[in-house]
Amino acid sequence: MHARAACRRASSRRSGCRRTEVAAKARPHYSTIPLNNRADTGGHKPLFFGAFARVGKALGHPTRLELLDLLAQAPRTVDALAHACGASVASTSQHLQTLWRAGLVTREKQGLHVRYQLASDDVVELYASLRRVAARHLAEVEQATRRFLDDGTDEPIDAAALHARMRDGSAVVIDVRPVEEFEAAHLPGALSVPLGALEARLAKLPKRKEIVAYCRGPYCVLAVEAVRRLRASGRRARRLEDGVREWTARGLPVEGAQVSA
């Protein structure tokens, strides 16, 4: 009797071992690393998306976008940026701090002033991508373009065509942005003729060659107004559909302090 009981126990142990082996083969492999030492598969989301959202939030105000547009032309102090965008110094400073916290701009102290500039060229690319998406998906961008940039007679020239005409000397190129933006970077051979000085400089501009005006980019009205005034004076004029940043993005050369720095 005792022998039979011992035999049953031995058989049960062998059967249990076989079940354990089968279960071990079927069971998926799990890491033995303690849970608190492994990446939390869900806890990372707030970190990543929170950082992405901080950049998105920094872009979510018209004044901050205008500041990026201005800084894409040249570094500036807070006072200069406030004057350029028509806002108070206090308000401009707050917007710049938001951009700085999002990593989109850098800043340095210069005496009594703080000078801001874009953190890198990819900030320009980000801003350009935002504009393209808005133009593609928002009807009001097209409506505003027709209202402010296209009077029905506007035939802007593209970068490739202008580059060819600059090489053969068949066009005169004028930069109608403020002088500090021209000095930072401009198209090779372009003349600095800020819009406010255009009337006084008309006599020095040729009447037989076509004049191509450019400003800050596709949504800048300075070149549109310059073309209107040039045509009113009897000159042939067109605007470049892009600005300096778009020009360099196409791999075309520029001149200026930022280029040689």
Question: Are the C-beta atoms of 184 and 197 separated by less than 8 Å?
Answer: no
Of 7, 17, 215, 220, which is the active-site residue? 215
- Residue 220 is a catalytic residue: no
Question: Are the C-beta atoms of 188 and 179 separated by less than 8 Å?
Answer: no
Specify whether the backbone of 170 is left (phi greater than 0), alpha (psi in -120 to 50) or beta: alpha
Question: Are the C-beta atoms of 177 and 201 separated by less than 8 Å?
Answer: no
Residue with tokens 């965008």: 85
Helix axis angle, 78-85 relative to 62-71, nearest 10°?
Answer: 120
Q: Which two tokens stand for residue 214?
A: 């450019």
Q: Go through 207-222 and write b for each residue having 16 or more CB atoms within 10 A of its CB, e for each that does not.
A: eeebbbbbbbbbebeb
Determine the Cα–Cα distance for residues 106 and 120; give it in Å rounded to an integer: 9
Rg (CA), the chain: 32
Determine the Cα–Cα distance for residues 253 and 247; give it in Å rounded to an integer: 8
Determine the Cα–Cα distance for residues 168 and 230; give it in Å rounded to an integer: 22
Catalytic residues: 215
